[in-house]
Structure 1
Amino acid sequence: MPSISDVIKSYQPDTNAYEELYKHFHSHPELSFQEKETAAAIVKHLQNLNAYEVHPNIGGYGVAAVLKNGPGITILLRADIDGLPVEEKSGVAYASKARMKDFEGVEKPTMHACGHDVHITSLLAAAETLAKAKEQWSGTLILCFQPAEERGAGAKAMVEDGLYDKVPEPDVVVGGHVTPLRAGVIGTKHGLMASSADSFELHIEGRQAHASTPHVGIDPIVQAASTILRLQTIVAREVDPSDFAVITVSAIHAGDKENIIPQEADLKLNVRAGVPETRERLLDSMKRIIDSEATASGSSFKPELTHFTTYPFLYNDSTVASKLEKTFAAHFGSSYNANIPRFSASEDFGILATSINKPSCFFLYGGLDTEVYDQAEKEGKLKELPGNHSPYFVPQIGSVWTGFEAYVVSALTFLDKEENVART
């Protein structure tokens, strides 16, 4: 039997076509649960391969495709497909100029600032290769193009909309993400791969007054400012420095005129943790501080804290990770890291596996220009490089092929023909 690397080399699709497809997806992003045209392009591409049973419109605009190819394991490969309300400033020729209304009905510039355009293209290229290489593997392949990852809701929506009534339940689930690492670098790890994330809206009610008479009002801006600063002491003074925790106040809206103390202030918060115990501590302390700052402000109004998004912890199964370590190391060589740093962001990918009590593994790979990355590393300026959610984050086109190879290697690791046929 040919090696996995030999299969990839023999059946790799036309690079120019997929690089143009990547540019198309990059310049035509769509926000969470609005990925209509993105999904339509995915469905059309899969149908043109004439190999897959395609299921559109799952959990919104989610797409699943199935290729049954004899006895063996069933593996699901996942790519997320939504963009972000970010105005692109990269300057590339195929930069996004798109605008869409977000879930609050406000029109925003829209960009694939997280690299999901890379994920889509990589998985479609893998779909073509694996269809053409059917003689080299055995088992069942499921492709999952998931909507609304950026709202932490797409995986759950697909499961609740009957994903596993439409496609077979997988034995193993694999996904990946492009990151601001050096292009070509790829890695996995055992155990915790991505943190939890909880998002909140905080409404602080004050008492409106003229700026010249602050004593008759209750200033929600001062209360908000005190709350924001005090929240930062949770990580600084209540969390073990060796642990991982972040509390971010990412938006504040209050007031309209310079001589009016406003009636209210609205904030948005994001809380991340590396272990469940720390998450609970962060959430409890946050609520304590928010209420206490209202009391300290002399306000009789209790702040309203609304929890609107939750990302679960993402854990890589050790058995799955161990199998991938062998094939990733064999294929990627020195570019592979078996203990890649944990993803500091969060993912809802794991729900596709945990909802049916199946194991999963998530890999990470780099997307930044090698020369730019190496120079920044030499100068100690890595933190200045654009990362996920930056208006300047446009992964190198070559990262499409790293993702493509990782998907194919993952599939062939578990769809080994000799092993699966021998089981029957």
Structure 2
Amino acid sequence: MTPQAVPEAAPAPVPVTRGVLAGAAELYAAVHRDPELSGAEQRTAARLAAALRAAGLDVTTGVGGHGVVGVLRNGPGPVVMVRAELDALPVREDTGLPYASTVTAPGPDGTQVPVMHACGHDAHLAALSGAAAALAGSADGWRGTLVAVGQPAEETLSGAAAMLADGLYTRFPVPSHVLAQHVVPLPAGMVAHGEGPLLAGSATLEVVLHGRGGHAAAPHLAADPVITAAAVVLRLQTVVSRETGPGEPLVVTVGSVRAGTPGGGNVIADRATLEVTVRSFTDAGLDRAVAAVHRIVRAEAAAGPEPAPPGPAVRVLSRSRPTVPDPAATAAVRGAHLAAFGPHRVARWQPSMATEDFALYGDAGRDLHGVPGVRTAYWMLGGTGPRQWAAAGGPAADAAARLAALPANHSPLFAPHPRLTLETGIAALAAGVRAALTMPPGVA
């Protein structure tokens, strides 16, 4: 984590008042206590909409599902959009916080699943509302238009495309810059920027292997899809180890394997289903990995006994583009953060194989929205409190060991420090908006 020199000409920091911070904290606790899964964010959207209206924004709801769009016009000037996410995860919270979630909701198969904001989206929303309020309260220091967006269904990688398809860039002011941040287990009070690819692109595929069911005592009379599934899982590992160059990051994960029913140990199943995720920093890398999944599934299915029709099937459930922030926008926002926080609180971020659908708001999504030259900036926001950081990994641990020991995003123990995370997140967003408002538009 290398601090950077402070630039000479950065916009003055936007003050975060006690009232702004208190309002954001109230929203954060309410949303954390009452999370909703992707596509079902009705209550969360209503809370964000109310907070943005209270800050003076003109708010529209129901965009691309439960999406929220707030517009704050402050004279002639550029349009800057700031995006945060509405949805939570099917995770059972184990933080022990007084505002911990005990919510359950219907999962994809209709059964009740626990729900938790285990990825920090609640903090993103609260910081967005606080930044909007702070900017509205300091309107004499900037000119232009702020568009505050609460996006549904980020975890399923479908919300950005849905909002764009529902007219985000035709019904509302078209941005020259789009900004976002994401909470990570860095020390609270810090922000971190990257260069080049920041987050990977991904594709999630459903693989269905059909067999012929039968009695466990007579496997020769059946075609066991579990054996084929096991061979597929093992063979997929060679896509990274034998088909990808050592200098090209690629991750292949089989996250789900389902076959048979509980108590069916004496039954050979008639089908097995896998969910496979591939991740790369390039679209070409994703294309090769997806093609490899198709090839391996067909080959392993052909190697076993002839299954019942229709044979193996591979279906793409979701796909995202790599997140590659615009270099000029990143430099301007990082400069504003250096001016606001000092070089000791601004770090470098190494590329992560996590994925997002944020890239669609920029040139990567031009085929969806048709707007050239939209610049994006995206940074990481520290959320680990000082006591938790000091205790992680033991007293002698270095920074890398502490990071490895801390609960990561999507963990049932993920618990950002509310005050420090929100205070920094609000200030970082507001400073980023001010910086973007002074930049020229992108070039088509």
Q: TM-score, normalised by structure 2?
A: 0.89
Q: Once the two structures are superposed, what CA deviation does each residue of 1:128-153 show, in whole Å capped at 9, x if it has no partner? A: 11111011111111111111101111
For residue 366 of structure 2, what is the aligned residue in structure 1? Answer: none
Give the CA deviation at 1:102.
2.8
Q: Which moved more, 1:84-93 or 1:55-64?
A: 84-93
Q: Once the two structures are superposed, what CA deviation does each residue of 1:235-260 show, in whole Å capped at 9, x if it has no partner? A: 12221222211111111111121111
Q: Is the 8 A contact 1:193 1:342 kept in 2?
A: yes
Q: 1:70-85, aligned counterparts within 5 Å?
A: 70-85=75-90
State whether structure 2 residue 406 is matched by structure 1 residue 385. Answer: yes
Q: 1:310 aligns with which of 293, 316, 319?
A: 319
Q: Is the 8 A contact 1:13 1:129 kept in 2?
A: no
State whether structure 2 residue 317 is matched by structure 1 residue 295. Answer: no
Q: 2:179 aligns with which of 168, 174, 177?
A: 174
Query: What RMSD, in angstroms, separates the aligned Cα atoms of the two structures?
Result: 2.0
For residue 413 of structure 1, what is the aligned residue in structure 2? Answer: 435
Give the CA deviation at 1:126.
0.7
Give the CA deviation at 1:300.
4.2
Cα distance in 2 for residues equivalent to 1:62 and 1:181: 29
For residue 373 of structure 1, what is the aligned residue in structure 2? Answer: 389
For residue 31 of structure 2, what is the aligned residue in structure 1? Answer: 25
Cα distance in 2 for residues equivalent to 1:7 and 1:209: 68
Name the SS for the 2:217 alignment partner. Answer: coil
Q: 1:234 aligns with which of 228, 232, 239?
A: 239
Q: 1:216-255, aligned counterparts within 5 Å?
A: 216-255=221-260
Give the CA deviation at 1:382.
3.5
For residue 128 of structure 1, what is the aligned residue in structure 2? Answer: 133
Name the SS for the 1:113 alignment partner. Answer: coil
Give the CA deviation at 1:111.
0.8
Q: Which moved more, 1:401-410 or 1:176-185?
A: 176-185
Q: Is the 8 A contact 1:325 1:338 kept in 2?
A: no
Q: Once the two structures are superposed, what CA deviation does each residue of 1:99-119 show, in whole Å capped at 9, x if it has no partner? A: 111344332111111110000
For residue 151 of structure 2, what is the aligned residue in structure 1? Answer: 146
Name the SS for the 1:250 alignment partner. Answer: strand
Letter paired with 2:266: N
Cα distance in 2 for residues equivalent to 1:233 and 1:3: 49
Q: 2:70 aligns with which of 55, 58, 65?
A: 65
Q: Structure 1 5/375 Cα, relative in aligned 2: closer, same or farther at 3 Å? A: farther
Name the SS for the 1:329 alignment partner. Answer: helix
* Identity within the alignment, %: 34
Gaps of 5+ in 2: 1-8, 364-368
Q: Structure 1 218/321 Cα, relative in aligned 2: closer, same or farther at 3 Å? A: same
Q: Structure 1 362/381 Cα, relative in aligned 2: closer, same or farther at 3 Å? A: closer
Q: 2:208 aligns with which of 200, 203, 223?
A: 203
State whether structure 2 residue 377 is matched by structure 1 residue 361. Answer: yes
Q: TM-score, normalised by structure 1?
A: 0.93
Q: Structure 1 241/3 Cα, relative in aligned 2: closer, same or farther at 3 Å? A: closer
Q: 1:270-285, aligned counterparts within 5 Å?
A: 270-285=277-292
Cα distance in 2 for residues equivalent to 1:171 and 1:15: 28
Q: Is the 8 A contact 1:173 1:352 kept in 2?
A: yes
Q: 2:96 aligns with which of 86, 91, 94?
A: 91
State whether structure 2 residue 64 is matched by structure 1 residue 42. Answer: no
Cα distance in 2 for residues equivalent to 1:172 and 1:143: 12
Letter paired with 1:125: G
Give the total of aligned pairs. Answer: 415
**Bigger fraction of residues in helix:** 1
Give the CA deviation at 1:308.
1.1
Give the CA deviation at 1:28.
0.6
Name the SS for the 1:151 alignment partner. Answer: coil
Name the SS for the 1:410 alignment partner. Answer: helix
Q: Is the 8 A contact 2:10 2:339 kept in 1?
A: no
Q: Is the 8 A contact 1:197 1:311 kept in 2?
A: yes
